[in-house]
Amino acid sequence: MITSQHPGLSSWPGCLVECHSVRLILDTDPGVDDALAIMYLAAQEDAEIVAVGSVHGNVPAAAGALNALRVLELVELAPPVTVGAARPLAQPLQTAEFVHGEDGLGGHAGPPPKGTVAPGSAAEQIVRLARANPGELTLLALGPLTNVALAVLLEPDLPSLLRSVVVMGGAVTVPGNITPYADANFYHDPEAADLVLGAGFPELILVALDATEQARVGTEWLAALAEVKSPRADFANNLLDHYGQFYSNMFGEHSCTLHDPLAAAIALDPKLAGYRKMPLGVELTGTHTRGQVVSDLRSISSDAYISTKAGAGRAPVKVAESVDVPAFLDLMFAALKD
């Protein structure tokens, strides 16, 4: 992880050859797997977290910001952390402590962080940084898309100001998790998810459950990490114990799915996945299917047939399909063991 300010895609002291870094704005709702994603990013030489914004989701936005500060302090990073949207655009707040624990970190949040949140909102921070660094920053969104949608509304040119956007959310060809049809991030703000998918980002990678459900660690991987003793590994093991317990109760097997860490890894190295390009929308009115990703998966030319309005005319999204799971799990293990 790069700790100093540097000019991004260029060289800086310490690199013998030109170093290429991915400069990230992180939008997150920590959240056990969000915390693990921050730890993953912190361990990578080619990543710089420029700023963090919290969003409602797994826990309320204010609690998520404090959790982000806690994890960043553990990994000795100090980007500004702003508090983001406190509620979704068009529905009441719903959080997911039943998955992530009352404190969002599986009961392991510990004492308050030493640092404090930065002034301003997460959406304003995205806009300010994107304007100041046109074409340079990758926005990695690991929670509901409320802040990103607000940023698009504040700055309609946002799609051309960002280098790329990587979103963890949705379920395109597989079942949902929080409902049979929707993943938690899209379900927690369907209007925001639909707005972002239709905003015209030229490079939008969607790391949906289709990809993340492949990134599941089991007993052996968890046991190997549990052998490692260090402050960071101890924290990761505590989080994974909690998460594993949830999965055991839910699915009857000791495992956990590394949703947000996989999205973080793909943001740094898109070659970890193969993609299918398609325009996407989000179901906003379905009685049972609100928050579901809507796509036209027919192999026919849909022009000649009735089209779904949801994706029609929209810029295609790169949906991660195949994942190099062994490579990702090795990277993840290495990141958490130090």
Nearest CA-CA partner of 30 in 1, 51, 61:
61
Of residues 222 through 281, those in contact with ligand BDR by CB under 6 A are 259-260
47 interacts with Ca ion by CB under 5 A: no
What is Dmax (Cα atoms) for the chain?
61
48 interacts with ligand BDR by CB under 6 A: no
The structure tokens 């921050």 sit at 38
215 interacts with ligand BDR by CB under 6 A: no
Looking at 22, 25, 27, 33, which residue binds ligand BDR (CB under 6 A)? 33
Length of the chain: 338
Q: DSSP letter at 206?
A: E
Between 36 and 161, whose beta carbon lies closer to ligand BDR?
36
Instruction: Name the binder of 197 from Ca ion, ligand BDR, none, CB < 5-8 A by kind.
Output: none
239 interacts with Ca ion by CB under 5 A: no
CB of 85 to ligand BDR, least distance (A): 15
Instruction: Name the binder of 183 from Ca ion, ligand BDR, none, CB < 5-8 A by kind.
Output: ligand BDR
Choose the stretch contacting ligand BDR; rule: CB under 6 A; options: 182-190, 222-230, 237-245, 278-286. Answer: 182-190
Nearest CA-CA partner of 255 in 279, 286, 219:
219
In the chain, which ranges are continuous DSSP H helix? 32-42, 61-74, 97-100, 122-132, 146-154, 158-161, 184-187, 190-197, 209-212, 219-226, 231-251, 259-268, 325-337
189 interacts with Ca ion by CB under 5 A: no
* Contact by Cβ (8 Å): 34, 142: yes
Instruction: Name the binder of 177 from Ca ion, ligand BDR, none, CB < 5-8 A by kind.
Output: ligand BDR
**In this structure, what token pair is assigned to residue 119?**
């002034």
For residue 259, indicate whether it is catalytic: yes
Of residues 142 through 161, those in contact with ligand BDR by CB under 6 A are 142-143
**In this structure, what token pair is assigned to residue 282?**
């989000």
CB of 63 to ligand BDR, least distance (A): 14
Q: DSSP letter at 58?
A: S
> Which residue(s) pair with 167 in the sheet?
141, 206
Between 2 and 55, whose beta carbon lies closer to Ca ion?
55
The structure tokens 């930065």 sit at 118
What is the rounded distance in angstroms from the CA atom of residue 54 to the CA atom of residue 71? Answer: 13
Element holding 257 (H helix, E strand): strand 256-257
* Contact by Cβ (8 Å): 85, 188: no
**In this structure, what token pair is assigned to residue 234?**
């101890």
Looking at 22, 61, 63, 142, which residue binds Ca ion (CB under 5 A)? 142
Looking at 143, 244, 261, 291, which residue binds Ca ion (CB under 5 A)? 143
Instruction: Name the binder of 239 from ligand BDR, Ca ion, none, CB < 5-8 A by kind.
Output: none
CB of 57 to ligand BDR, least distance (A): 6
Positions annotated as catalytic residues are 259
Q: Which residues bind ligand BDR (CB under 6 A)?
A: 31, 33-34, 58, 96, 99, 142-143, 168, 177, 183-185, 259-260
